[in-house]
Structure 1
Amino acid sequence: MDSQEESVKPTDNVDFFLLVEEKRIPVDRDILVKSSNYFRAMFSSGMRENCQNVVELHGLSSASVRALVNLLQTSQLSLRDTDIEDFIATANFLQVQKAVDYVKSHLDAHACVDVLNIAELYCINDLEEAAYSFLVDNYFDIFRKGQYERLREEQQTRVRELRKSIKSYICAIVEYDEASADTPRKTRNLYYHDDKEDVFRPYKTVDSRVPKSSYGAAVLDNNLYIVGGYVDAGGSTGSATGQAVGSGFRFDPMTRQWHEIKPLQQARAGFTLAATDTHLYAIGGKAEVDLFTVERYDPKDDTWTFVAPLPRPVKPEAAAACMGDVYVAESAARFMSPDRLLKYCTGQDEWTDLGKIPYRLQCDSDMVSFADFVMVIGSHAIKSYNITSGEWYTMMRPMGGGYTKNRFDHVVYDGDIFFVGRVTTQRCTPSRGVWDCLAGVPGCGYRKAFVLKLKRLLPFPDEVYSGGNAGIRKAMNT
């Protein structure tokens, strides 16, 4: 039966063909020998194919072989006439590592689950590991695009375990990188604490559109969200008393990229932002007047929704999420009135007054949570509230006193409370009843600290991890 000759670029001076499904595919024999262990073994074994200019392949599709040959000869891949499973199976059978490496470097959110399943089916270990690494690094996009639900339960478990195994770091952003606010730099950095050498190092430049002060910052699912804040009349992000904005940004530390998110429905600055396991809550703040509204952000569909407002016109001095609900330290409107602890029940969308706080809040108090405790941190005391028993406890006094969030921001990491400041970072270990000093974060002015899992700490600052210029899904459509 006559065979149909397939056109594969480049074809000049090619006198060797692969015969697949009665179709002759021209190919440079030297490229086959160089790229394929299968053909290298064939042509060095003394088999009769070594003397022929046509080699017939059985059990393979001509479309996948044609796509593979085109990739070897042009470094371009088109899967328009075949599917990714057939292409990978063909590359695996012919032992073409270059094709597997191409798929590894061009994974995308739409094809990664399919590639993972194919790699497991054909026991291609390096491709399987690459697919899992992509799922971990791009978890947010995988989740939002509905691909995470396609993973089998054991695959989801492995992704979660791999994410947990990534090392966490104390991180911070300050208003000015320089020590003097009179000479601010045009760029700001997100810093991480190198605990081996006790120094804060830059990890990534901050998006220039992010306000420098009075914004809300919180970490949800290892993504840093910065929303609201002040800009001056000219749109600069440097003013601390200008116009409140509702803009929002998300930083993904796995891909080291900043993304703009849907803005708040109500512009606000000087507010509290709390993160539960599933949502963000923007509480109170200021615009032209004091605000008592509360907005909830759903990262899956990128939307802000108004929920139950604060129960009365009070200032939400600090807030923290604990065991799925949000707790707010209320600063009383009248000096003689006691400060109180409020609880927002996320499931019922309602507020509850939990009673007096046994401590007079300053205008710079802060809150963090750990296990089933919420901790109110003031300039001279730390009060902890057990949400299970409803009891208050007095914790150790900060070293030297005066450790307010004007000078420090506070995070909990590995059971310790960190007071992150410019000159020094104070670490409180409640279980041992000790304080010690660590390095401070460079810069001054408004400071926010948080804990993030980080990978690829070097190089800095412009190197951005990327799987490639075009994804597998694009290759399938070209």
Structure 2
Amino acid sequence: MESSAAPGGLHPADDPARGASGQQDAAGPPAQTPCGLGASLCFAAAEDEAPRARAVASATPPSRRGVVDTQRELGAGAARAEEGPEAPEEERASRPEERTPSPEEASASRAESPSSPEEASASRAESPSSPEEASASRAELEPRGEETPSPEEELEPAPPAAPGLALALGEPDLVLEVAGRRLRAHKAVLAARSDYFRARASRDVLRVRGVGPAALRLLLADAYGGRMAGVRPDNVAEVVAGARRLQLPGAARRATEAVAPQLSPDNCAAVLGAAKRRRLAELRDAAYRFMSDHYLEVLRRPAVFGRLSGAERELLLRRRLRAGRACLLAAALAPAAGARAGGAAGAAGARGEAAALYRFCAAAGAWRALAPLPEGAPARGCGLAVLHNYLFVAGGVAPAGPSDRVFCYNPATGRWSAARPLRQARSQLRLLALDGHLYAVGGECQLGVERYDPRADRWAAVAPLPRGAFAVDPAAAVCNGELYVSGGSLFGRLLKYDPRRDEWQECPGGGGRGRAAGLVGLGGFLYRFELGGARGDAQGAGALSVCRYHCAARRWSPGTARLRPPGPPRPFRCAALDGAVYCVSRAGTWRFVPAADGEPGQDAGPGGHFEPEPLGAPLDVRGVLVPFVLRLPDSSDPDPDPDRDLDPQAEA
């Protein structure tokens, strides 16, 4: 008897609503459910679907299970036909099974994984960005074991070693695979210099990750010869990062040292950026050191200085002002006699004869030459000042008259460079540094004052001197953030410039009747050093006396400290260093120690004293000695004296 069920259809399960008897509705034949994927009873002949099919079949009434079983068997048969005949049991047993790695292999695999955030970041940066690169990367990461390269594959030879070492090493016994390249090397050489290679000494073929082929060649050459050649600013970050990854600390240091002479204001920002991205501390410090040593060049480049943060800018200046040791220096300028350029002395001074910088070596107690003045810098009537540990020389008497040229000396490099000229040529001026700017004050027939902005490399006019106050060859100093001028053609007058208000003020005059030899600001006081006494004062003739001015109280106090240098009277100039004032002349160098007052506003005693003996032999030069203070690199000190290191604190 034929079944009433249509082909490809199933009777629905008994509906409880129809009653427990399960009888069909008398209204007509039962509705059929079409066979499809939605019914979950037609299978694509997959073996993993069989359990589910059996579960469905078991839930089907017995009268309808034949259809379910038939459909499942037909689907499974079709799947076996597509897969082909089943392999024999022996063949299935001979198939290789997936091998579980040994503990040693698992440990080596973990050792090759990135062990630091820097390495993890570098690994992410080197991950493929396209499906083709991902496929190639998976192909390269397939385990090969310790296979020997075939003759068809080209192997790069090992770097050359020393003649004696080459005979002892013999043939290379290691193949390094990096980015599809194969380089030969000796296990003994690499294991002796790196823990990374020492831990993998049992391998004959080693795949190196995270290092490019070019960087690996440079590192191998360094491992064999101990010399880092071929390092440039554009690849130094990759080489240093590779040295850190392969645990070659000596190579990282040598790569940094090799690139340091190649840094310039044009590439230092790129090197610093690469070092910060890869977190390479030694390379970052090298970039900071270059920027600090060439601070003005970096300061004047918006593309470089503008990319630095505020903390980095402060760091560069702080490093520059703390590097090396503070030293007493003096510029030997041409004599002041024959002030007019047409005189013989003026012509000699304009040519710069005997014009040079000297440094005082405390250990030897003598002055020694440091550097000559640059060609074209007038050696007489110029102004000197120190800003950001640079020595600036401005103005002076040139063969054709007053000069407007400005030169700058960098003690970190020992080189002179030219800066923006003055707006007005002037001679017999004073140059002072205040709040990161330079001020050119006075000069012959000059009332104007100019201010120099080192970042913009530009001079600008500020408030001029009061009418009638021509300051020719005055003494000047900075104290409590204000600028003071006295002496010279001003005699006993004291003028003060307030940069916040951009105005000059008249202060109470004071001092003796002698000629001002120097004005120094120290500890809230101005110290005025005068050479010679009043007319008719035989006792004070040729003596050096001191008087003191309290800047906040606006009061002078006469001092009784007096020094009589040997020989005829000679002009003095003064500079402050380490809480003392050094008075320098061709006759010798004397040290003045101010009194240690309990309160700055109370004037007690004479205000200080001179040490009886000069510090060193006199400097045998012609002209005037103008002292100043610079921080010089330790390498430039032939006779280091630890007592002269005034700020030994290292950079925090």
Query: TM-score, normalised on structure 1?
Result: 0.75
For the 8 Å contact 1:71–1:77, the answer to whether it is kept is: no
Displacement of 1:171: 0.5
* Counterpart check, 1:346 vs 2:499: yes
Q: How does 1:221-260 map to 2 (within 5 A)?
A: 221-233=388-400, 243-260=401-418
CA RMSD of aligned residues (A): 4.2
- Give the match's secondary structure for 1:449: strand
Partner deviation per Cα, 1:228-286 (whole Å, 9 max, x = no partner): 111225xxxxxxxxx21111111111222111111111111111111113111111202
Separation in 2, partners of 1:300, 1:260: 14
Partner deviation per Cα, 1:303-330 (whole Å, 9 max, x = no partner): 1111111121322222212222211116
* Structure 1 residue corresponding to 2:198, chosen from 41, 48, 61: 41
* Counterpart check, 1:452 vs 2:630: yes
Return closer, same or farther for 1:227/1:161 CA change in 2, 3 Å cut-off.
closer
For the 8 Å contact 2:531–2:571, the answer to whether it is kept is: no
Match of 1:435 in 2: 610
Q: Percent identity?
A: 26
Displacement of 1:92: 1.1
Partner deviation per Cα, 1:439-462 (whole Å, 9 max, x = no partner): 2333120221101111135488xx
Return closer, same or farther for 1:31/1:154 CA change in 2, 3 Å cut-off.
farther
**Which has the larger helix fraction?**
2
State the aligned residue count: 427
Q: How does 1:372-411 map to 2 (within 5 A)?
A: 372-380=524-532, 381-400=545-564, 407-411=571-575
Return closer, same or farther for 1:401/1:62 CA change in 2, 3 Å cut-off.
closer
For the 8 Å contact 1:104–1:127, the answer to whether it is kept is: no
Separation in 1, partners of 2:187, 2:447: 73
Separation in 1, partners of 2:175, 2:556: 81
Separation in 1, partners of 2:569, 2:454: 28
For the 8 Å contact 1:172–1:447, the answer to whether it is kept is: yes
Match of 2:433 in 1: 275
For the 8 Å contact 2:233–2:259, the answer to whether it is kept is: no
- State the one-letter code of the partner of 2:575: V
For the 8 Å contact 1:272–1:283, the answer to whether it is kept is: yes
Q: Which runs of 5+ in 2 are unaligned?
A: 1-135, 141-152, 161-170, 336-344, 533-544, 597-607, 639-652
Match of 1:239 in 2: none
Separation in 2, partners of 1:403, 1:373: 31
- Give the match's secondary structure for 2:378: coil
Separation in 1, partners of 2:387, 2:568: 25
**Which has the larger strand fraction?**
1
Q: How does 1:108-123 map to 2 (within 5 A)?
A: 108=263, 109=265, 110-111=268-269, 113-114=272-273, 117=276, 121=279
Separation in 1, partners of 2:393, 2:569: 17
Structure with greater contact order relative to length (CA < 8 Å, sep ≥ 6): 1
* Counterpart check, 1:58 vs 2:236: no
Partner deviation per Cα, 1:123-150 (whole Å, 9 max, x = no partner): x5x6566556545534444444444972
Match of 1:207 in 2: 374
For the 8 Å contact 1:365–1:377, the answer to whether it is kept is: yes
- State the one-letter code of the partner of 2:410: D
Separation in 1, partners of 2:155, 2:609: 75
* Structure 1 residue corresponding to 2:230, chosen from 76, 84, 92: 76
* Structure 2 residue corresponding to 1:24, chosen from 176, 181, 192: 181
Q: Which runs of 5+ in 1 are unaligned?
A: 234-242, 461-478
- State the one-letter code of the partner of 1:308: A
Displacement of 1:176: 6.7
Larger gyration radius, structure 1 or structure 2: 2
Return closer, same or farther for 1:30/1:245 CA change in 2, 3 Å cut-off.
farther
* Counterpart check, 1:299 vs 2:476: no
Displacement of 1:172: 0.6
Separation in 2, partners of 1:142, 1:405: 45
- State the one-letter code of the partner of 2:293: D
* Counterpart check, 1:218 vs 2:385: yes
Separation in 2, partners of 1:443, 1:105: 41
Query: TM-score, normalised on structure 2?
Result: 0.56
- State the one-letter code of the partner of 2:554: G
Separation in 2, partners of 1:443, 1:29: 64
